[in-house]
């Protein structure tokens, strides 16, 4: 997440000073480009490994700070959530055994993380979005307590002026409203860096944009969020909405969100990206900066450009331009590709990176200007369709030739990547190994996303949804440790021996959410029909916005029938017999609290609400299921 020594820029004088520094640093970079100060003649690669931390029940574990306290390794750092961790890997010169070395270091940091995790009662999971995440894990209590994150949260909320909200539809549909940026912590990735010379940056950045769609189709691994089956790489939609600071007016005007793919090619230089992002996105954080970066450049000194780097760190292009200073003191430029999700295994991640580096290398040598062969709208469409459908997505390739992603990858892009890696002098055995992983994954259609979705289908409706998500995550963590690529994984199976109590601690874990409801002005016959058709004994009453207004039970209908209904009178309406303002609870209410409340008030049903809106229902029958599990476990243990 970048520089931690930051402040929220509420003070106008501070903001003006920072903006002046930002503009000076852009001019300083322009002078650096004109003076040919950037490192050239070498290509380096690098990566950042993000990971989830899970507890013994495979739910998010808030142990990041405890883990870091016991790790004397500068490669590790925290991320936004207390259930996330990140390791920054060493830069390597592209060529020879660099991919094998990248895999070895990724394995090394992962082993260190796993070893330390055990000591704090946790495990490591590599996945784009953790299936066991719930809304309870997305509060500010789960945010790493640093000034940067709280400042970023407050600044984005202030700019937006309302809660973060979005809707995403896949197999299921998720409508989400949230009051902080912790949705960003739902996403982990394996970000790869590709260092290029300044004079070739524009050309290679455009190439990176062109190959990102098919790259993403190859490596999707984030199909589930909050129990909903969404896009194959739901991370794309979730991240774009998690820190969307646009007000309704700005969104209506078409302003890009801070997380975006872009809308056009770049023409000549990296400076175009920095200028556009400064022009479009307001300063939200400030930090210390150098007094005279332009003078430093004129004296032959290398500025750190702290202001520019910080602002760049608050704009999240899927291919991001990065400025840095190498160990030899030379400034350099990198393309940071952020679309590759974490997992399913280290081998899969390195294979994804190899595929990207190979395509980049070959196209940088064989195509003078990729803009002559693509419409940018097709490139962006490739990216979005890959996020939604993975290998099933249609992709437009050179000169508007359209084909399924699977065919494009197997027939054209894998041979192209192989040639690119050979031209970069990558060891032949490594080329065969890593691209072979991609070939088998694509040929079998077994991406991480497909494995998760097929595994859930394989479990049918065994246990509760929360139990199935735990079984899915447990299998994922266990098979990751074998090192086998996801194309060789067995489907996850429902585990009846897991500690089921962890899936029934709060009502939000097992409440019914697929509800049939009525409105106050509906006729009672409709409510009675719903009960008969759906075999339910309670029907919530809500308004058109989803606000809970009342509850109808089968007992109320029986009483109405007992009184007799005159067929000649006006029909009875729901509002006439419903119980208004029924007792309700929140999804975070513990199961024990719900049981006590129902017993004390002699209730057979409890609506579950958030901010007055109906989100679920808990009935006597649901609690009988919980109680029966308890009795079975106790009696079986005798």
In tens, the pLDDT along 82-103 reads 999 999 999 999 999 999 999 9
- How far lies 392's CA from each of 173, 212, 396, 416, in Å? 20, 16, 13, 21
Same structural domain, 301 and 317: yes
pLDDT of residue 161 exceeding 80:
no
pLDDT at 118: 95
The least confident of 112-116, 328-332, 373-377, 609-613 is 609-613
**How many other C-beta atoms lie within 10 A of the C-beta of residue 430?**
20
Q: What is the mean pLDDT of residues 269-297?
A: 92
Helix (H, G, I), strand (E, B), or coil: what is residue 431? helix
Q: What is the mean pLDDT of residues 324-349?
A: 96
Q: How confident is the model at residue 4 (pLDDT cuts 50, 70, 90)?
A: very low
- 550 falls within a domain: yes
Query: Cα angle vertex 143, ends 142, 144, to 5°?
Result: 120
The Cα–Cα gap between 414 and 362 comes to: 11
- 133 falls within a domain: yes
- 497 falls within a domain: no
pLDDT of residue 8 exceeding 60:
no
Q: What is the mean pLDDT of residues 179-184?
A: 84
Predicted confidence (pLDDT) per residue in 443-491, tens digit: 999 999 999 999 999 998 888 888 899 999 999 999 999 999 999 999 9
pLDDT at 6: 54
Q: How confident is the model at residue 277 (pLDDT cuts 50, 70, 90)?
A: very high
**How many other C-beta atoms lie within 10 A of the C-beta of residue 299?**
8
pLDDT of residue 626 exceeding 80:
no
The least confident of 135-139, 238-242, 576-580 is 238-242
Close Cβ partners of 467 (under 8 Å, ≥ 6 residues apart): 494, 498, 500, 503
The H or E element spanning position 324 is strand 319-325
Token pair 């993403």 in the structure block, residue: 216
pLDDT at 479: 97
Token pair 């599990």 in the structure block, residue: 629
pLDDT at 181: 82
pLDDT at 194: 98
pLDDT of residue 246 exceeding 50:
yes
Same structural domain, 427 and 520: no
Same structural domain, 615 and 523: yes
Query: What's the CATH code of the domain at 82?
Result: 3.30.590.20
Greatest mean pLDDT among 275-284, 332-341, 536-545 lies in: 332-341
Same structural domain, 118 and 246: yes
Q: How confident is the model at residue 1 (pLDDT cuts 50, 70, 90)?
A: very low
- 2 falls within a domain: no
Same structural domain, 288 and 228: yes
Q: What is the mean pLDDT of residues 307-318?
A: 93
Same structural domain, 355 and 282: yes
Same structural domain, 439 and 454: no
Q: Identify the domain boundary among 460, 491, 522.
A: 491
List 341's β-bridge partners, or say none: 189
- 406 falls within a domain: yes
Number of domains making up the chain: 3
Same structural domain, 341 and 475: no
pLDDT at 5: 52
Predicted confidence (pLDDT) per residue in 505-536, tens digit: 888 888 888 888 999 999 998 988 888 888 88
Same structural domain, 440 and 551: no
Query: What's the CATH code of the domain at 582?
Result: 3.10.580.10
- 502 falls within a domain: no
- 500 falls within a domain: no
Same structural domain, 460 and 407: no
Q: Identify the domain boundary among 433, 460, 491.
A: 491
Strands 84-88 and 92-93: unpaired
Same structural domain, 254 and 138: yes
What residues make up the domain containing 465? 448-491
Same structural domain, 166 and 178: yes
pLDDT at 286: 85
Quick one: what percent of the chain has pLDDT higher than 70? 92
Q: How confident is the model at residue 565 (pLDDT cuts 50, 70, 90)?
A: low
- 293 falls within a domain: yes
């Amino acid at each position: 997440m970048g520089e931690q020594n930051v402040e929220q820029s509420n003070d106008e004088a501070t903001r003006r000073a920072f903006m002046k520094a930002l503009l000076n640093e852009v001019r300083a970079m322009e002078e650096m480009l004109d003076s040919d100060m950037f490192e050239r003649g070498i290509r380096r690669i690098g990566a950042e490994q993000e990971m989830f931390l899970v507890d013994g029940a495979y739910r998010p574990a808030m142990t990041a700070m405890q883990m870091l306290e016991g790790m004397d390794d500068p490669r590790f750092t925290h991320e936004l959530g207390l259930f996330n961790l990140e390791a920054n890997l060493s830069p390597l010169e592209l060529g020879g055994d660099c991919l094998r070395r990248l895999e070895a270091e990724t394995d090394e940091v992962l082993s260190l993380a796993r070893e330390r995790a055990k000591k704090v009662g946790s495990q490591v999971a590599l996945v784009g979005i953790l299936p066991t995440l719930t809304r309870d894990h997305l509060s500010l209590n789960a945010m790493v307590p640093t000034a940067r994150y709280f400042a970023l949260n407050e600044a984005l909320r202030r700019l937006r002026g309302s809660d973060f909200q979005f809707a995403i539809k896949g197999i299921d549909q998720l409508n989400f409203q949230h009051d902080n940026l912790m949705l960003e912590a739902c996403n982990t990735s394996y970000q790869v860096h590709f260092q290029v010379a300044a004079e070739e940056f524009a050309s290679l950045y455009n190439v990176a944009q062109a190959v990102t769609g098919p790259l993403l189709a190859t490596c999707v691994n984030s199909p589930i969020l909050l129990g909903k089956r969404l896009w194959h790489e739901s991370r794309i939609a979730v991240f774009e909405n998690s820190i969307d600071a646009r007000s309704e007016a700005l969104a209506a005007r078409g302003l890009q969100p801070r997380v975006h793919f872009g809308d056009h090619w770049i023409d000549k230089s990296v400076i175009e990206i920095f200028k556009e992002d400064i022009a479009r996105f307001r300063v939200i954080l400030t930090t210390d900066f150098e007094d005279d970066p332009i003078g430093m450049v004129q004296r032959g000194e290398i500025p750190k450009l702290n202001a520019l780097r910080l602002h760049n760190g608050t704009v999240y292009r899927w291919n991001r331009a990065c400025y840095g200073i190498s160990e030899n003191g030379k400034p350099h430029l990198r393309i940071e590709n952020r679309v590759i999700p974490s997992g399913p295994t280290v081998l899969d991640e390195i294979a994804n990176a190899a595929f990207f580096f190979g395509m980049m290398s070959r196209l940088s040598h064989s195509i003078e200007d990729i803009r002559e062969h693509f419409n940018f709208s097709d490139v962006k469409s490739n990216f979005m369709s890959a996020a939604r459908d993975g290998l099933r997505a249609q992709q437009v390739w050179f000169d508007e030739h359209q084909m399924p992603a699977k065919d494009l990858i197997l027939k054209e892009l894998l041979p192209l990547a192989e040639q690119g890696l050979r031209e970069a002098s990558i060891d032949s055995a490594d080329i065969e190994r890593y691209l072979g992983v991609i070939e088998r994954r694509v040929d079998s259609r077994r991406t991480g996303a497909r494995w998760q979705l097929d595994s859930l289908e394989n479990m049918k409706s065994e246990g509760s949804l929360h139990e199935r998500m735990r079984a899915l995550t447990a299998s994922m963590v266990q098979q990751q440790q074998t090192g086998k690529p996801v194309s060789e994984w067995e489907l996850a199976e429902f585990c009846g021996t897991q500690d089921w109590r962890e899936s029934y601690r709060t009502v939000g874990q097992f409440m019914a959410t697929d509800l049939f409801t009525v409105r106050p002005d509906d006729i009672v016959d409709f409510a009675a029909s719903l009960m008969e058709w759906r075999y339910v004994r309670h029907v919530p009453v809500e308004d058109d916005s989803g606000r809970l207004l009342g509850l109808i039970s089968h007992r109320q209908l029986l009483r109405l029938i007992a009184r007799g209904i005159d067929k000649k009178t006006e029909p009875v309406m729901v509002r006439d017999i419903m119980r208004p303002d029924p007792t309700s609870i929140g999804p975070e209410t513990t199961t024990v609290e719900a049981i006590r409340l129902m017993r004390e008030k002699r209730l057979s049903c409890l609506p579950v609400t958030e901010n007055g809106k109906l989100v679920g229902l808990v009935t006597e029958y649901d609690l009988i299921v919980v109680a029966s599990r308890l009795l079975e476990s106790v009696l079986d243990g005798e």
